[in-house]
Protein backbone atom coordinates (compact mmCIF):
# COMPACT_ATOMS: atom_id res chain seq x y z
CA UNK A 1 0.00 0.00 0.00
CA UNK A 2 1.27 3.52 -0.75
CA UNK A 3 2.53 5.89 1.88
CA UNK A 4 0.54 9.08 2.48
CA UNK A 5 1.91 12.60 2.21
CA UNK A 6 0.93 14.31 5.47
CA UNK A 7 3.26 17.25 5.98
CA UNK A 8 6.15 19.46 5.01
CA UNK A 9 9.09 20.22 7.31
CA UNK A 10 10.72 23.63 6.83
CA UNK A 11 14.02 24.55 8.49
CA UNK A 12 13.86 28.08 9.91
CA UNK A 13 16.13 30.43 11.82
CA UNK A 14 12.98 31.89 13.40
CA UNK A 15 10.17 29.31 13.23
CA UNK A 16 7.56 31.61 14.77
CA UNK A 17 8.36 34.39 12.30
CA UNK A 18 8.07 32.10 9.29
CA UNK A 19 4.88 30.52 10.61
CA UNK A 20 3.34 33.97 11.05
CA UNK A 21 4.44 34.97 7.54
CA UNK A 22 3.02 31.90 5.81
CA UNK A 23 -0.11 31.96 7.94
CA UNK A 24 -0.73 35.50 6.74
CA UNK A 25 0.05 34.71 3.09
CA UNK A 26 -2.10 31.59 2.99
CA UNK A 27 -4.80 32.64 5.47
CA UNK A 28 -4.18 29.61 7.66
CA UNK A 29 -4.05 28.81 11.37
CA UNK A 30 -0.89 28.65 13.47
CA UNK A 31 -0.75 26.07 16.25
CA UNK A 32 2.06 25.15 18.63
CA UNK A 33 2.58 21.69 20.07
CA UNK A 34 6.33 21.73 20.64
CA UNK A 35 7.04 23.00 17.14
CA UNK A 36 5.45 25.83 15.22
CA UNK A 37 2.81 24.31 12.99
CA UNK A 38 0.76 25.69 10.12
CA UNK A 39 -2.38 23.65 9.54
CA UNK A 40 -5.26 23.42 7.08
CA UNK A 41 -3.44 24.47 3.91
CA UNK A 42 -4.60 23.63 0.39
CA UNK A 43 -2.34 20.59 0.25
CA UNK A 44 -4.37 19.22 3.19
CA UNK A 45 -1.07 18.98 5.04
CA UNK A 46 0.53 20.53 8.06
CA UNK A 47 3.62 22.66 7.57
CA UNK A 48 6.06 22.38 10.48
CA UNK A 49 8.79 24.96 11.04
CA UNK A 50 11.87 23.47 12.70
CA UNK A 51 14.70 25.52 14.24
CA UNK A 52 18.08 25.51 12.54
CA UNK A 53 21.25 27.59 12.64
CA UNK A 54 22.45 26.34 9.23
CA UNK A 55 22.63 29.23 6.74
CA UNK A 56 20.76 29.10 3.41
CA UNK A 57 23.41 28.96 0.68
CA UNK A 58 21.55 27.95 -2.48
CA UNK A 59 18.05 27.92 -4.02
CA UNK A 60 15.69 25.48 -2.34
CA UNK A 61 14.89 22.20 -4.05
CA UNK A 62 11.17 22.91 -3.43
CA UNK A 63 9.30 26.20 -3.65
CA UNK A 64 5.62 27.16 -3.51
CA UNK A 65 3.75 28.25 -6.65
CA UNK A 66 0.80 30.34 -5.44
CA UNK A 67 -2.21 30.69 -7.74
CA UNK A 68 -4.23 33.80 -8.66
CA UNK A 69 -7.86 34.08 -9.66
CA UNK A 70 -7.40 37.46 -11.39
CA UNK A 71 -4.82 40.16 -12.02
CA UNK A 72 -6.12 42.02 -8.97
CA UNK A 73 -5.80 38.86 -6.89
CA UNK A 74 -2.20 38.38 -8.07
CA UNK A 75 -1.33 41.97 -7.10
CA UNK A 76 -3.03 41.49 -3.72
CA UNK A 77 -0.97 38.37 -3.02
CA UNK A 78 2.25 40.17 -3.99
CA UNK A 79 1.33 43.08 -1.72
CA UNK A 80 0.53 40.67 1.12
CA UNK A 81 3.91 38.94 0.74
CA UNK A 82 5.70 42.31 0.82
CA UNK A 83 3.64 43.58 3.76
CA UNK A 84 4.45 40.49 5.82
CA UNK A 85 8.20 40.82 5.29
CA UNK A 86 8.81 39.10 1.96
CA UNK A 87 10.61 40.63 -1.00
CA UNK A 88 10.95 40.52 -4.76
CA UNK A 89 13.66 38.19 -6.05
CA UNK A 90 15.66 38.40 -9.28
CA UNK A 91 16.85 34.98 -10.40
CA UNK A 92 17.31 36.04 -14.01
CA UNK A 93 13.69 35.31 -14.88
CA UNK A 94 13.41 38.28 -17.24
CA UNK A 95 10.01 39.56 -18.35
CA UNK A 96 7.54 36.90 -17.18
CA UNK A 97 3.91 36.91 -16.09
CA UNK A 98 4.57 35.30 -12.71
CA UNK A 99 6.21 37.18 -9.84
CA UNK A 100 9.29 35.67 -8.21
CA UNK A 101 9.60 36.44 -4.50
CA UNK A 102 11.14 35.21 -1.26
CA UNK A 103 9.89 34.91 2.31
CA UNK A 104 11.71 36.67 5.20
CA UNK A 105 14.39 33.94 5.31
CA UNK A 106 14.98 33.88 1.57
CA UNK A 107 12.88 30.81 0.72
CA UNK A 108 11.74 31.23 -2.88
CA UNK A 109 8.11 31.41 -3.97
CA UNK A 110 6.26 32.37 -7.14
CA UNK A 111 2.93 34.16 -7.45
CA UNK A 112 1.52 32.72 -10.66
CA UNK A 113 -0.53 34.73 -13.13
CA UNK A 114 -4.29 34.09 -13.52
CA UNK A 115 -5.33 31.69 -16.24
CA UNK A 116 -2.32 29.41 -15.86
CA UNK A 117 -3.57 26.15 -17.38
CA UNK A 118 -1.17 23.86 -15.56
CA UNK A 119 -2.40 25.05 -12.16
CA UNK A 120 -6.10 25.15 -13.07
CA UNK A 121 -8.37 23.61 -10.43
CA UNK A 122 -5.70 23.56 -7.71
CA UNK A 123 -5.67 25.40 -4.40
CA UNK A 124 -3.89 28.54 -3.23
CA UNK A 125 -0.72 26.47 -3.26
CA UNK A 126 -0.95 25.38 -6.87
CA UNK A 127 2.20 23.30 -6.78
CA UNK A 128 5.27 22.32 -4.87
CA UNK A 129 7.62 23.14 -7.72
CA UNK A 130 10.79 21.09 -7.39
CA UNK A 131 14.23 20.68 -8.84
CA UNK A 132 14.47 17.04 -9.83
CA UNK A 133 14.92 14.35 -12.42
CA UNK A 134 12.32 12.44 -14.40
CA UNK A 135 13.27 9.34 -12.39
CA UNK A 136 12.41 11.06 -9.11
CA UNK A 137 9.02 12.06 -10.48
CA UNK A 138 8.37 8.41 -11.32
CA UNK A 139 9.54 7.39 -7.83
CA UNK A 140 7.11 9.73 -6.07
CA UNK A 141 4.26 8.72 -8.35
CA UNK A 142 4.78 5.11 -7.24
CA UNK A 143 5.51 5.98 -3.61
CA UNK A 144 2.29 7.97 -3.11
CA UNK A 145 0.20 6.26 -5.81
CA UNK A 146 -0.44 9.67 -7.36
CA UNK A 147 -0.80 9.57 -11.15
CA UNK A 148 1.51 11.45 -13.46
CA UNK A 149 -0.33 14.49 -14.83
CA UNK A 150 2.69 15.72 -16.82
CA UNK A 151 5.58 13.78 -18.36
CA UNK A 152 7.29 15.61 -21.19
CA UNK A 153 10.89 16.61 -22.01
CA UNK A 154 12.00 14.98 -18.72
CA UNK A 155 9.70 17.28 -16.74
CA UNK A 156 7.15 15.48 -14.56
CA UNK A 157 4.28 16.31 -12.23
CA UNK A 158 1.94 14.29 -10.05
CA UNK A 159 -1.36 15.04 -8.36
CA UNK A 160 -3.46 13.22 -5.82
CA UNK A 161 -6.46 11.35 -7.29
CA UNK A 162 -8.50 13.61 -4.99
CA UNK A 163 -7.17 16.67 -6.81
CA UNK A 164 -5.57 19.67 -5.14
CA UNK A 165 -2.00 20.89 -5.31
CA UNK A 166 0.52 19.24 -7.63
CA UNK A 167 4.15 18.31 -7.10
CA UNK A 168 6.34 19.00 -10.14
CA UNK A 169 9.98 18.39 -11.11
CA UNK A 170 11.75 20.50 -13.71
CA UNK A 171 14.16 17.92 -15.14
CA UNK A 172 17.78 18.63 -16.12
CA UNK A 173 19.99 20.48 -15.57
CA UNK A 174 19.89 19.61 -11.88
CA UNK A 175 21.62 21.77 -9.29
CA UNK A 176 24.43 20.20 -7.31
CA UNK A 177 23.02 19.30 -3.89
CA UNK A 178 24.82 20.93 -0.96
CA UNK A 179 23.78 19.87 2.53
CA UNK A 180 20.32 18.88 3.68
CA UNK A 181 17.27 20.34 1.95
CA UNK A 182 15.52 23.05 3.95
CA UNK A 183 12.08 21.82 2.84
CA UNK A 184 11.35 18.10 3.22
CA UNK A 185 8.27 15.94 2.72
CA UNK A 186 6.84 13.94 5.63
CA UNK A 187 4.89 10.72 5.07
CA UNK A 188 2.72 8.44 7.14
CA UNK A 189 2.76 4.68 6.55
CA UNK A 190 -0.79 4.64 5.22
CA UNK A 191 -2.61 1.36 5.77
CA UNK A 192 0.49 -0.62 6.79
CA UNK A 193 2.96 -0.35 9.63
CA UNK A 194 6.00 1.89 9.46
CA UNK A 195 8.42 -1.00 8.84
CA UNK A 196 6.45 -2.25 5.83
CA UNK A 197 6.10 1.27 4.42
CA UNK A 198 9.85 1.85 4.71
CA UNK A 199 10.63 -1.49 3.05
CA UNK A 200 8.35 -0.62 0.14
CA UNK A 201 9.99 2.77 -0.34
CA UNK A 202 13.46 1.22 -0.23
CA UNK A 203 12.39 -1.28 -2.88
CA UNK A 204 11.22 1.62 -5.07
CA UNK A 205 14.63 3.28 -4.90
CA UNK A 206 14.79 5.23 -1.64
CA UNK A 207 17.82 5.01 0.65
CA UNK A 208 18.34 5.38 4.38
CA UNK A 209 19.79 8.64 5.72
CA UNK A 210 21.77 9.18 8.90
CA UNK A 211 20.60 12.51 10.30
CA UNK A 212 22.68 12.24 13.46
CA UNK A 213 19.47 12.45 15.49
CA UNK A 214 17.68 9.76 17.42
CA UNK A 215 13.92 9.82 16.89
CA UNK A 216 12.00 6.61 17.46
CA UNK A 217 8.88 8.06 15.82
CA UNK A 218 10.30 8.52 12.33
CA UNK A 219 12.62 6.96 9.77
CA UNK A 220 14.77 9.27 7.66
CA UNK A 221 15.10 8.38 3.98
CA UNK A 222 16.16 10.01 0.71
CA UNK A 223 14.58 9.72 -2.72
CA UNK A 224 16.63 8.68 -5.80
CA UNK A 225 17.86 12.27 -6.24
CA UNK A 226 19.08 12.36 -2.64
CA UNK A 227 16.26 14.58 -1.32
CA UNK A 228 15.56 13.83 2.33
CA UNK A 229 12.12 12.89 3.61
CA UNK A 230 10.77 11.01 6.62
CA UNK A 231 8.26 8.27 7.32
CA UNK A 232 6.47 8.88 10.60
CA UNK A 233 5.07 6.21 12.87
CA UNK A 234 1.35 5.55 12.79
Spatial neighbors of 64 by CB under 8 A, at least 6 apart, are: 109, 110, 125, 127, 128, 129
Flag whether pLDDT at 212 surpasses 90: no
**How far apart (Å, rounded) are the C-alpha atoms in residues 180 and 64?**
18
Tell me how far the alpha carbon of residue 27 is from its chain's centroid. 18
pLDDT tier, 30 (very low <50, low <70, confident <90, very high otherwise): confident
Model pLDDT for residues 158-170, shown as the tens digit of each residue? 999 998 899 999 9
- Report pLDDT for 45: 81
Flag whether pLDDT at 211 surpasses 80: no
Flag whether pLDDT at 42 surpasses 60: no
Task: For domain 4-169, say whether CATH 3.10.180.10 is its number.
Answer: yes
pLDDT tier, 216 (very low <50, low <70, confident <90, very high otherwise): low
Query: Residue 189: phi, psi to the nearest 5?
Result: -70, -10
**How far apart (Å, rounded) are the C-alpha atoms in residues 116 and 69?**
10
Flag whether pLDDT at 188 surpasses 90: yes
Residue ranges per structural domain of the chain: 4-169
- Report pLDDT for 122: 92
- Report pLDDT for 37: 74
Mean pLDDT of the chain: 93
- Report pLDDT for 43: 57
pLDDT tier, 214 (very low <50, low <70, confident <90, very high otherwise): low
- Report pLDDT for 160: 93
Flag whether pLDDT at 40 surpasses 60: no
Flag whether pLDDT at 83 surpasses 80: yes
Which of 186, 60, 204, 89 shows the shortest CA–CA distance to 145? 204
Mean pLDDT (whole number) for 107-135: 96
pLDDT tier, 206 (very low <50, low <70, confident <90, very high otherwise): very high
- Report pLDDT for 34: 59
- Report pLDDT for 38: 76
Query: What are the beta bridge partners of residue 150?
Result: 157
Amino acid sequence: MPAELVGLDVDAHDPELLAAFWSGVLGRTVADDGVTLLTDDDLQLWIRFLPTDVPKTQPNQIHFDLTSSSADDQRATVDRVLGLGGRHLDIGQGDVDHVVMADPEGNELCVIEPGNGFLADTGTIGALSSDGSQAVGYFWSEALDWPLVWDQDEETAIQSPRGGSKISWGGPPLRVKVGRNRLRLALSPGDVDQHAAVDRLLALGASRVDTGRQDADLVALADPDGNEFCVMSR
